A and B are shown apart, each in its own frame.
Chain A
Amino acid sequence: MPFSLLKYGLSSDYPVEVDLPAPTELKPSYDVVIIGGGGHGLAIAYYLAKYHGITNVAVLEKSYLGSGNTARNTAVIRSNYLTSEGVRFYTESVRLFKELSNEFDFNIMYSERGQLTLAHTDATVRAFRQRAEVNKHFGGRTEMIDRQQIRELVPSLNLDPGHLPVLAGLWHIDGATARHDAVAWGYAKQAAKRGVEIHQLTEAQDFVLDGDRVSAIKTNRGTVRCGCVVQAIAGHSSLLLNKLGIRAPIHSYPLQAMVTQPFKPFLDPLVSSSALHCYVQQTSRGEVVFGGGSDPYPLYNTRSTLELKESLLAHAIEMFPFLAQAKLMRQWAGITDMTPDYSPIMGLSPLDNYYLDAGWGTWGFKATPICGKTMAELVASGGQVPELIQPFALERFSRFEQVNEMGATAASH
């Protein structure tokens, strides 16, 4: 250990840095109220303060920061989507992610390992070819690889699971992970430093409407007036939309994941199988994380089920047989708001000063930076929708202009 570090540790003037200021009373009014203190809400607050100088902002979080899906996701970051709208949007997010640790001066443990998605049928091989081309065209780094290349990349992978031999793979060099809580903390700290107020244990419960505007928000700590509102509450979007009479194509499903005891490092890339509905990755602590598809029917409850554990583990073991010996440490779930076209709902709402950041389903962590940045632009401009998120408007459903993004489904995050 360097001597200077020891000296620093023992010194009484070790620079104590406060992460978040102590809680205060809510002010009677804010220019912008952001409902939801997950990664998205905090990112919006940060970019509003940093790029637009808007700091009379309150983030209301009913529980603690990042306690929703931000703290529950399996942290896959990638941009190998299928549609041009999707690829453009997520590619920009990946670019921003790479800079975040520097920007925060705080390590979010961004780790670029690449993501490998396995094709077990000819149809999937063809679909992957298309994805690889679309991706390259819009700036992502994705290519097709064959069995031999897969074997070299992931020696521990069983290339002939049951009746579904691996035919080829989609190799996404930009695939990465990051510490998800750290992303929320980084944004929170930097937003608070610039004057944003973050109110935990503060739930938005109802609204006061004035014509087509929300003039105030009723919370468990009193009513606050607002210039405008951004709703970023992931799995619970419908609950507030219903209070405002806004109809949306959202169904809330639990998504479960699990993690084993730690092993020595054996798996560098993130590996996912479209046919086995399972993805597997090893964390920097050595644990193996599994994720899969959503529960089979909607529910606002994060209970675990034996069925899902059984099917997910069976598929994971087919991919990595030695995991049959692994001990499961933890299993959990989050509530995800699924849309019919596997794309988010971002932008304007039928109300004048109410903005939507919803319908993030099982894929929203990777979008945190770009979502925060574009939503901040939208708010700062008083409702000019940035080009990058125009395709994701709520209105797309009544215009029958969905963004068909099956590349975002749960099995490959």
Chain B
Amino acid sequence: MKIMPCPLNGPRNISEFTYGGEFKLMPDPNTCSDAEWADYVFNSNNLAGVVTEWWMHTASSYWFLAERHTVTDQIIRTYDPSERFSQRVEFNLPASREEEVSA
């Protein structure tokens, strides 16, 4: 069995985890163009090499980051997202959009 070292729960069978996609920085949804948003939502580097990605320990719903080699499948490091994020990401709708939503 392949073992994933979970930063919260310790080493676990990889079947306990859900893959959550490449780690990428989100552009500001209120100011970015449609093209930038589409690039963020859909496109990826899909590298053959070491990538940083989101993973979740399914049973505890705990999200974390992992560095993994996509050719050897070696998990190099896993860590808590607090290493990358110091505050919560808020999604405030711009005023004009709020009106559209309530209409």
Q: Residues of A with Cβ closer than 8 Å to B? A: 238-239, 242, 247-252, 296-301, 303, 305-307, 340, 397-398, 400
Contact = CB atoms under 8 A, between A and B. Distances in A.
B95 interface: no
Contacts of B103: none
Contact of B42 (A238, A249, A296, A303): A249
Contacts, number: 54
B47 A242 contact: yes
Contacts of A249: 42-44
Interface string B57-83: 000000000000011110000000000
Contacts of A306: 1
Contacts of B18: 296
A298 B43 contact: no
Contacts of A301: 70-73
Nearest to B2: A305
Q: Label chain A's interface by main secondary structure.
A: loop
Q: Label chain B's interface by main secondary structure.
A: loop
B25 interface: no
Interface string B18-40: 11000000000000001100110
B48 interface: yes
Nearest to B39: A247
A298 B68 CA distance: 10
Nearest to B35: A398
Given A248-B43, A251-B44, A300 B38 contact: no
B38 A239 contact: no
Nearest to B71: A300
6 contacts: A238-B46, A248-B46, A250-B46, A298-B46, A307-B1, A397-B38
A242 B42 contact: no
Contacts of B39: 247, 398
Nearest to A296: B19
B45 interface: yes
A172 to B, nearest CB: 30
B44 A300 contact: no
A204 to B, nearest CB: 15
A72 to B, nearest CB: 18
A239 B48 CA distance: 7
Nearest to A249: B42
B14 to A, nearest CB: 8
Nearest to A236: B48
Contact of A251 (B35, B46, B71): B46
Given A300-B71, A398-B39, A252 B46 contact: yes
A303 to B, nearest CB: 7
Given A238-B46, A301-B72, A397-B43, 14 more contacts: A238-B45, A238-B47, A242-B46, A242-B47, A248-B46, A250-B46, A252-B70, A297-B19, A300-B71, A301-B71, A301-B73, A397-B42, A398-B34, A400-B38
B19 A398 contact: no
A306 B1 CA distance: 8
A340 B42 contact: yes
A299 B73 contact: yes
> Which of B1, B18, B19, B34 has its CB near the most chain A CB atoms (within 10 A)?
B19
Given A300-B70, A301-B71, A303-B73, A247 B43 contact: yes
A273 B55 CA distance: 29
Contacts of B70: 252, 298-301
Contacts of A251: 44, 46
A136 to B, nearest CB: 32
Contacts of B47: 238, 242
B46 A398 contact: no
Contacts of B45: 238, 242
A303 B72 CA distance: 10
